[in-house]
Amino acid sequence: MLSENEWKERLTPFQYYILREKGTERAFTGKYDKFYEEGIYYSAATGQPLFNSKAKFNSGTGWPSFYEPISSNAVILKEDNSLFMRRVEVLDSSSGSHLGHVFDDGPPPTGLRYCINSASLIFVPEGEEPPPIVKEYLRKYRK
């Protein structure tokens, strides 16, 4: 596990705010909100695969939204009672980094809406070479 200083070296200041300080992007400002290319979304913190573009939909909320993660063990769900609200936080399962929140107002087949900050994601188009952080994750965990 990285120290907070190591996280600060690895991430941009804005990514650090989102991923490590549980920040939230302003609605409609993230680069993946209205983005619908085919490919895989990875964690900007660890390179772990998180979401397939096939599960992405336009929720109209201003954040990238998915109806399911790429696998059941890609994310951890944790109760979040901050800001006087009751929500469920979505975390990267390999680092515990904050990705966003999940709500029960999504489309079939799950009825869920994983509302994710663009800054917490790295998108790799289908058939393209992944960046070094993704290669590092795959080398480490897919033996």
Kindly report the CATH number assigned to the domain that includes residue 20: 2.170.150.20
Residue type, 131: P
| pTM check: above 0.85 | yes
Give residue 20's pLDDT: 97
Q: Out of 115, 116, 119, 124, which one is annotated catalytic?
A: 115
Beta strand pairing status for 49-52 and 39-43? antiparallel
Q: Give the integer Cα–Cα distance in Å for 81 and 11.
A: 26
Give residue 138's pLDDT: 80
Tokens of 56: 């992405």
Give residue 104's pLDDT: 95
Residue 131 near residue 79, CB atoms below 8 Å: no
Residue type, 81: N
Domain count, the chain: 1
Q: Give the integer Cα–Cα distance in Å for 56 and 38.
A: 10
The residue segments making up the domain with residue 79 are 4-141
Give residue 55's pLDDT: 98
User: Of all helices (H) and strands (E), which one includes residue 19?
Assistant: helix 13-19
At 67-94, the pLDDT tens digits run 999 999 999 999 877 766 788 999 999 9
| pLDDT surpassing 60 at residue 143 | no
Tokens of 13: 């200041």
How much of the chain exceeds pLDDT 90, in percent?
Answer: 82
Q: Is 115 a catalytic residue?
A: yes
Q: How many residues does the chain have?
A: 143
